[in-house]
Structure 1
């Protein structure tokens, strides 16, 4: 129906207003304003640009354990894939470890006068430490630094109104993406009104040029906004997120039993929340942790379960899917144990598993 009405318009539409009302009332609960875009990099870069504009500072700090924030030079320029980036933005980026209160205090001691923003995912696999987040919120407020939560991955996964509440604090800005569009391309930036309204280029700060926050031709296309509204409604009406967590808990328990049965549980373990399970490995003198993980994943995939290091359970996964996954992991564990015992790790025949 949205496609029939059209998708790209020069001016704001009623559909965009309705989508904003749904998003702010049911997902980004407590935030005042929203700007829609198409991918997470756009909204993250927009959040940091907004923070620099609001504070007049240029330094940003990112959590070192969180693997990806943006394609922008400020982030990519600090990685091994820094080709083609300008060196200046990356040089204005600092790292800090997750849940490390002493490290965040040291960061503010050294850079408080020039720190525009702190950005991190509220939660990934490790549970948030309330002491760390309380201190982080206190320091950001004290020094006028903008606290940004990146919920591109965690949004609509841990709970309907985001993972942020698990930390016990409220950020100033939040970035959203991936799941919010239910498969359609959509991202969003939400936050406090006093910050978000600075993105209105018709109302620049006194003595400063106007801020062009986000410019996306298709940021508010009607089909993606309709998909978001439908997705949020479906998640709410079917209690989908708790159901996905329950399926993940069953998967966790099943696979933990398989790993214990094979004797591999000391070296391969599942960490994180039931909705987002991470595969962690430990190394030995015979196989390093990356080598063991590579062997485990490749054999799991060969046995019919497409796993890239994370188990992401959803409501469409059935008991049969879980059984097939357990059989694939059992096969991979057998191969890994042989390799760890010095036997030929060459793949053994797969007979008990059929690919999905």
Structure 2
């Protein structure tokens, strides 16, 4: 059977017996069955790959040997492609020489200097392992620099950190003291008056405002500059979270693209092409509070055992070299544009423009699934995921990588076109006639809906051929 036949063989992609068996072991050993909520069982249909065994480029293989073209790309962390040779080579070579020493490694200086060159206004950098740690460090630094305790985050951007100051604004706020939650406020994107109102309501209290420079909706003319001016006029700092925009937007930075300089900014994800590394960057007078060359109270700033592991820094340098030497950003946008054009054509052909919608920059496409009333629907999202998975495409988003070829994009368009035909039928006779099992659920919800989970376990066993215990 050739590769094209395997992608569109329903018998092959419906076989998830090994994944089905391992899911229950995972839930016994790991809360939720995964170490990242976005990768959990409740985010995917019952008929889906429960575990990915390996990847190459934009293709992945699950535990049962099913092959998929992938568009989640490690939650946007893999922009070059899985197992990208230059990154693997750099990381492995460094690993063979040791990865963690008693004193700093020279590569820490080299990598910091290279990254600073890419970020407008940045004068110093410090490395860590994940985005949450970096953004929390930015918040602590802003509080120390300004002497204030409150912060404000953009309410239209759903995730900044797993720490209390950010998660307190979501329905999953169990375990967070109310006193801590009162120190975080929200403002709306592209609405300067929303942020200005906070400064009026809490005069002299706000240390910083944090937001993503751009998400699904681009900033309106003058918004980012206006927000920066508003912060500085009121004695606060502007923090830009570039975990997603970094190394996906033109010039590797949304700040560069939109010609704005934040006081502090955070990068990660694609910077290591999936290898754990993130960074906090900012103006020297702020960042040096975590160092030795000042006479103010010191800030405990990102002092972690594994923050500057040399193999991760080597990987980051290899990523930056690849971006410098090859047309990565241009390819992400070109392939994303090809995908958008094909999907929108299929959407029009099936009469689904009101129900299936694409959004975001072409290098970072997302989609929304709506019901017959045009309301966003988890049920229809689940059906779309089920039908694309059935056709060899794993697409929680439609995020392209440097490894997505024209053939990969065209196969994906064909699979989505076929999935949308089922979507059209589901609008007419109801999704229940086509969906196997329960719908997916929002990550940020207060309850785990255990009854659905129990029902799902039985259906997974039946669908995958695993006997119930």
Q: Distance in 2 between matches of 1:187 and 1:174?
A: 11
Deviates more, 1:4-13 or 1:190-199: 4-13
Q: Which residue of 2 aligns with 1:33?
A: 124
Q: Secondary structure at the match of 1:10?
A: coil
Residue 108 of structure 2 is aligned to residue 16 of structure 1: yes
Deviations 1:171-203 (A, max 9, x none): 100011111112211000000000000111674
Deviations 1:110-169 (A, max 9, x none): 124100010000011111113322221111111110100001111101123311233332
Q: Which residue of 1 aligns with 2:355?
A: 267
Q: Distance in 2 between matches of 1:131 and 1:235?
A: 29
Q: Which residue of 1 aligns with 2:318?
A: 230
Q: Distance in 2 between matches of 1:80 and 1:167?
A: 32
Q: Which residue of 2 aligns with 1:117?
A: 208
Q: Secondary structure at the match of 1:118?
A: strand
Q: Distance in 2 between matches of 1:153 and 1:175?
A: 10
Q: Cα RMSD over matched residues?
A: 1.9
CA positional deviation for 1:287: 7.1
Q: Secondary structure at the match of 1:149?
A: strand
Distance 1:90 1:341, change over 3 A: same
Question: Does the aligned pair in 1 maintain the 2:120–2:261 contact within 8 Å?
Answer: no
Distance 1:108 1:344, change over 3 A: closer
Q: Secondary structure at the match of 1:243?
A: helix
Q: Distance in 1 between matches of 2:330 and 2:205?
A: 42
Residue 102 of structure 2 is aligned to residue 102 of structure 1: no
In the TM superposition, 1:69-84 aligns within 5 A as: 69-84=160-175
Q: Which residue of 2 aligns with 1:200?
A: 291
Q: 5+ unaligned residues in a row in structure 1: which ranges?
A: 349-356
Deviations 1:239-258 (A, max 9, x none): 11111110110010011101
Q: Which residue of 2 aligns with 1:181?
A: 272
Q: Distance in 1 between matches of 2:192 and 2:132?
A: 27
Q: Distance in 1 between matches of 2:388 and 2:316?
A: 33
Q: Secondary structure at the match of 1:314?
A: coil
CA positional deviation for 1:323: 2.2
Distance 1:271 1:301, change over 3 A: same
Q: Distance in 1 between matches of 2:332 and 2:151?
A: 35
Question: Does the aligned pair in 2 maintain the 1:204–1:211 contact within 8 Å?
Answer: no
Q: Which residue of 2 aligns with 1:354?
A: none
Residue 391 of structure 2 is aligned to residue 303 of structure 1: yes
Q: Which residue of 2 aligns with 1:142?
A: 233
Q: Which residue of 1 aligns with 2:79?
A: none
CA positional deviation for 1:9: 1.9
Distance 1:169 1:288, change over 3 A: closer
Q: Distance in 1 between matches of 2:349 and 2:267?
A: 40
Q: Distance in 2 between matches of 1:73 and 1:156?
A: 28
In the TM superposition, 1:147-296 aligns within 5 A as: 147-200=238-291, 203-205=294-296, 208=297, 210-285=298-373, 289-296=377-384
Distance 1:4 1:204, change over 3 A: farther
Q: Which residue of 1 aligns with 2:419?
A: 332
CA positional deviation for 1:3: 1.4
Q: Which residue of 2 aligns with 1:6?
A: 98
CA positional deviation for 1:301: 2.2
Say how many residue pairs are matched: 343
Q: Distance in 2 between matches of 1:28 and 1:142?
A: 23
Distance 1:289 1:55, change over 3 A: same
Deviates more, 1:333-342 or 1:237-246: 333-342
Question: Does the aligned pair in 2 maintain the 1:40–1:176 contact within 8 Å?
Answer: yes
Q: Secondary structure at the match of 2:209?
A: strand
Deviations 1:195-245 (A, max 9, x none): 00011167451xx4x211112101111101011111100111011111111
* Larger relative contact order (Cα-Cα within 8 Å, sequence gap ≥ 6): 2
Q: Secondary structure at the match of 1:190?
A: strand
Distance 1:343 1:184, change over 3 A: closer
In the TM superposition, 1:313-328 aligns within 5 A as: 313-328=400-415
Question: Does the aligned pair in 2 maintain the 1:286–1:342 contact within 8 Å?
Answer: no
Q: Distance in 1 between matches of 2:316 and 2:375?
A: 45
